[in-house]
């Protein structure tokens, strides 16, 4: 447990609302239980229609501390909203690995990314009747080189009151070793934070929640995430119930049910209390 005993408020965000009915149902249940206080909506997902939005709004109405963001999606197996978007692979966004390589080699077209992000913000606004509270990215694509320029410009233009998610941890230098995924997110987030600050866009002071989605005990992982989270920090999670739609769209399946089981169970509130962490 962290040595810091002061009270901390964190943002515990469930990603991927809209990817499948089972994920939506689990997220709404956790919101109503006040076990999470944020969720980001994938407007290009197959379960982000009017009824899904209305059900989410009803859940949030019973949990006033919960905020709703936009989960910008630019990777397969989803379709863009803009007709002219490139690059595509088989009519879909490219896979994550190709998107990352293209961004690092600066082979993307920021104008098309800017238009697509604005289109997804507009789709959110049309469905919810307002702009998102915050904007993040599926598979952390918002922090990639080239993508981040267009992403931040689109948010500044279309949702100027929103904050954005950066994915870097806040730890002393000696504590920055960890999983390769978390180290990569640290590196990419440094540039993202600098650009967001220059643009006057707010962002979370620290990020946690990245792991390899193995069968590791999620309770133990959550304790590690809490240890690294200052007041105002953001922890990402992916709770859900597995269904055929999810299996067809995403490799992260059974681990979502393990996350849900922990977050909905009795151990989690006790852990928050022991760490002097609140979601209020």
Say what the pLDDT of residue 229 is. 95
Say what the pLDDT of residue 170 is. 80
Give tens-digit pLDDT for 104-114: 999 999 999 99
The strands making up 234-237's β-sheet, listed across from edge to edge, are 163-164, 134-137, 67-72, 38-41, 11-17, 234-237, 207-208
Contact between 275 and 225 under an 8 Å Cβ cutoff? The reply is no
Give tens-digit pLDDT for 190-235: 999 999 999 999 999 999 999 888 777 999 999 999 998 999 999 9
Average pLDDT, rounded, for the chain: 94
pLDDT band at 185 (very low <50, low <70, confident <90, very high): very high
Give tens-digit pLDDT for 108-144: 999 999 999 999 999 999 999 999 999 999 999 999 9
Which is nearest to 17 in space by CA: 28, 30, 3, 29?
A: 28
Give dist(CA 161, CA 42) in Å, integer. Answer: 19
Give tens-digit pLDDT for 4-43: 458 999 999 999 999 999 999 999 999 999 999 999 999 9
CA–chain centroid gap for 208, Å, is 11
Query: To which H or E segment does residue 13 belong?
Result: strand 11-17
Query: To which H or E segment does residue 70 belong?
Result: strand 67-72
Give dist(CA 42, CA 12) in Å, integer. Answer: 17
């Amino acid at each position: 447990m962290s040595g810091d005993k002061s009270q901390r408020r964190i943002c515990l965000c469930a990603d991927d609302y809209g990817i499948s009915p089972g994920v939506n149902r689990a997220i709404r249940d956790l919101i109503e239980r006040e076990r999470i206080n944020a969720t980001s909506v994938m407007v290009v997902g197959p379960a982000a229609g009017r009824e899904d939005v209305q059900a989410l709004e009803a859940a949030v109405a019973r949990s006033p501390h919960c905020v709703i963001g936009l989960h910008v999606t630019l990777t397969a197996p989803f379709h863009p909203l803009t007709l002219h978007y490139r690059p595509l692979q088989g009519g879909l966004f490219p896979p994550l690995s190709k998107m990352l390589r293209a961004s690092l080699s600066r082979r993307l077209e920021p104008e098309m990314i800017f238009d697509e992000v604005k289109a997804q913000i507009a789709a959110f606004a049309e469905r919810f009747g307002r702009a998102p509270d915050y904007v993040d990215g599926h598979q952390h694509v918002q922090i990639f080189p080239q993508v981040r320029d267009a992403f931040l410009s689109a948010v500044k233009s279309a949702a100027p009151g929103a904050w954005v998610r950066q994915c870097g941890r806040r730890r002393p230098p000696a504590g920055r070793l960890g999983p390769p995924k978390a180290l990569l997110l640290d590196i990419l987030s440094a540039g993202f934070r600098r650009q967001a600050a220059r643009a006057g866009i707010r962002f979370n002071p620290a990020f946690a929640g990245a792991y390899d989605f193995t069968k590791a005990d999620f309770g133990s992982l959550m304790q590690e995430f809490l240890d690294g989270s200052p007041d105002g920090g953001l922890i990402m999670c992916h709770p859900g119930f597995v269904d055929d739609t999810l299996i067809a769209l995403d490799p992260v399946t059974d681990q979502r049910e393990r996350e849900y089981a922990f977050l909905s169970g009795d151990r989690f509130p006790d852990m928050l209390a022991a760490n002097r962490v609140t979601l209020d």
